[in-house]
Amino acid sequence: MRRIKAIVEYDGTGFSGWQSQSKGRTVQQEIEKALRELLQEEIAVTGSGRTDAGVHARGQVCHFDTANPMSCGMMMRGINALLPQDIVIRAIEEVPKEFHARYGAIERTYRYYVSQVPTALQRKQRWYVGHPLDMEVMQRCADAIIGEHDFGAFCKVDSSAKHFRCSVRKAFWQRRDNDVVFEIVANRFLYGMVRALVSTMVDVGRGKISVEQFIEILQSRQRSRASSSAPPTGLFLEMVRYE
């Protein structure tokens, strides 16, 4: 058996998330279906992590095992020919059997895109916020989450996480033309964490709450204290890093 690693790009608009489920279309199910047809085997795909319904990815990573001797180049062309247009395999390589897409990941990078002007072409990949945003205070919030913290205040209440501590290596806001973009790099992410952080920081940028109140929310570990989640449309899994 060979272990194959793939980097996957997808538009999450038409999916009920990454993970296979009994109801709704998922990215994992579409990839497994295409691989079964291509390789003529039962294939189980393991992703680096789940993405919610409507969330996009440029650099999702997954692995699967196969006994088929097909070259990686032919495999990549074949699977892309079979996949729907909202999923693309960007790279495929054979890796050691010890590689694990989920447990081997040491860091993930997410970006969230906020549009400051209405957009028709990118309406499914942006969160439109027409209010002026104070970038300085939003960056102060981003600075406050760098390091290891308990992010229970920014995790969905029905999460099955065993603990809520995450180590954030990088977090910053920047302007890109008509967009305001938040980038965060951490060793792990909780269910709904990035969207809750973004919405709460946007409320700081709008002047609805202060930086000091944001820090109090973080320290409270109470999800009810933070803002409602930002829409999934603006969130992208950009990259997963391994040793």
State pLDDT tens for residues 180-206.
999 999 999 999 999 999 999 999 999
> Which pLDDT value is given to residue 158?
67
Q: Is the pLDDT of residue 150 over 90?
A: yes
Q: Which domains does the chain have, with CATH numbers?
A: 2-95 (3.30.70.580), 106-242 (3.30.70.660)
AA letter at 146: I
Q: What is the pLDDT of residue 159?
A: 63
For residue 209, what pLDDT band results from cuts at 50, 70 and 90?
very high
91-105 pLDDT, tens digit per residue, is 999 999 999 999 999
At residue 132, the 3 state secondary structure works out as: coil
Distance of CA 91 to the CA centre of its chain: 18
Residue-wise pLDDT tens digits, 43-69: 999 999 999 999 999 999 999 999 999
CA distance 194 to 26: 21
Task: Please state the separation of Cα 175 from the chain's center in Å.
Answer: 20
- CA angle, 183 then 184 then 189, to 5°: 140
User: Assign residue 207 a region: left if phi > 0, alpha if psi is -120 to 50, beta otherwise?
Assistant: left
Dihedral sign of CA atoms 37, 43, 51, 21 in order: positive
Q: Are 1 and 66 in contact (CB under 8 A)?
A: yes
pLDDT at residue 148 tops 80: yes
Lookup result for tokens 């929310």: 217
Is residue 151 predicted with pLDDT exceeding 80? yes
Q: Could you give the residue numbers annotated as active site?
A: 52
Residues 123-149, mean pLDDT to the nearest whole number: 97
Looking at the chain, the whole-number percentage of residues with pLDDT higher than 90 is 93
CB 168 within 8 A of CB 143: no
